[in-house]
């Protein structure tokens, strides 16, 4: 159990560091400030489907992500 606890703590600390870095920049932690997530439809396709980020509702701002969380 010690190993699983240390992995869980490490992952939690890593996530907190990521969120604090994004807060400093003012970016949404889920989409890195882009406001959308791109999902390739096919590896040979030149077009990708993009979806608004559910965390910030497509704005890319940390304040909106924090309000919706």
What does the domain layout of the chain look like in residue ranges?
A: 2-68
User: Residue 39 in contact with residue 30, Cβ under 8 Å?
Assistant: no
- What pLDDT, on the 0 to 100 scale, is given for residue 14? 96
| pLDDT tens for each residue of 10-40 | 999 999 999 999 999 999 999 999 988 776 6
* 46 has a pLDDT exceeding 70: no
| CA 59/CA 45 separation, integer angstroms | 27
E strand segments, 1-69: 36-40, 48-52
Greater model confidence, 40 or 68? 68
Greater model confidence, 11 or 69? 11
Greater model confidence, 37 or 48? 37
| CA 50/CA 41 separation, integer angstroms | 10
Residue 17: its H or E element: helix 2-25
pTM (whole model) above 0.85: no
User: Residue 39 in contact with residue 50, Cβ under 8 Å?
Assistant: yes
């Amino acid at each position: 159990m010690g190993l699983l606890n240390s992995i869980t703590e490490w992952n939690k600390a890593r996530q907190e560091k990521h969120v604090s870095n994004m807060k400093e920049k003012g970016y949404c932690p889920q989409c890195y400030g882009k406001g959308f997530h791109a999902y390739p439809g096919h590896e040979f396709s030149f077009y990708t489907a993009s979806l608004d980020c559910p965390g910030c509702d497509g704005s890319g701002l940390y304040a909106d992500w924090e309000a919706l969380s």
